[in-house]
Structure 1
């Protein structure tokens, strides 16, 4: 079977929440604790999605202001519904942020950098909208290793169909490791660059609970699953069920690791 094109677009908020949003919401506070920013800062959330990181900023950082930016109208609608007037949300791309120079003190991006077509341009934009001495920080899933929720899926997909190997997110997104992240930030001219792992435990009641979000069609893995004919999808499901470790009660506990990075302008 030949490989199929994947959808890296994220448009529908509710399927995203079931697939990745719930784990994103647990990683975000760990990221903010690691950043350790004082109260009153002006925050800019680049690629804010459904508002997981913006929500955590409001809950944990006593910000002076929060502005979320995302190209997806579906995601922005969900973010506005959840956060209302507590934060401002703007439509825009990471490579052309709709903000003035120096508009933010802390420019952050959660689980987005690897999906940005022109990362150097986006990092340059983040530097532009940061105040002098401001902080630029981000985190991305560790697709090749400890983001087990997704890695097990692709390992099973490749076992069933070796031609799917180029679609494996661990291969597609080489940025998502600390060495590559550091290189990108240093190349962008940021100083005091450092990285850290952020781990949460993803618990599922059973295999169906784990499998169901892959049928939502949002993101590369679900898009691949839903592109398959029924018999191929059934084979993938069986291979994945055999691969994922389960406890005697049928529940599944997996690590969801993100790599965080920070630098200064």
Structure 2
């Protein structure tokens, strides 16, 4: 396990979390220091986008540092990609479930609040996060991972310009969908929403040309139908993959188009929402 300290303040650890199928989940942990005895922190697991062919470093690092700076332990999951498995699923799902269980089991070591573990999925990472949000309580996933349902339960999910339906425009070809999953129920995570789905914060842009707005709108409709607490924001304009939508995450090739102060408000809104939702999740356990 690699361990680094930055100015005796931030601790960064590379975690290798064993799975029951003889593989491991790789996680970069950004851990906060205790400023007083007994201090603990909420946790956030980040699943970046990248079309399942890569993991966006902008989303991973910028997202991790932004939430870390606001009081979270942050865990960036380097989930498996298409180059690792064909079909890709269910391996990433197992890795995310194992990560939650590991953090909950080792909460004391990480000064982690065991009942305040949220997930953030961006773009394709949103498909993975919403897939777990819809399946964590199932007997099937518990049997396949050999993990207790309560151990893998996320307390909240955040979805940023997420892919939730693999047949709504991305990927373009159904042959590509079959490379991602050959399990019918994992194609459309909107259909997985049920009464066990955690509270959800979700946002997108109406002008997103890469991932159709229907991915968000139909997912919100499923949340409402199942009476899941949610907060949803569809911004009238904005590019796909803007992350924080400020100068820190702007892509050189996009320039000013990646900077949008209005879209950037999603981050502060998510923090306000998490402050409301995570204590409530803790009280329910």
Give the TM-score, by structure 2 length.
0.33
Give the TM-score, by structure 1 length.
0.35
Which structure has greater helix proportion? Answer: 1
Q: Which structure would you say has the larger Rg?
A: 1
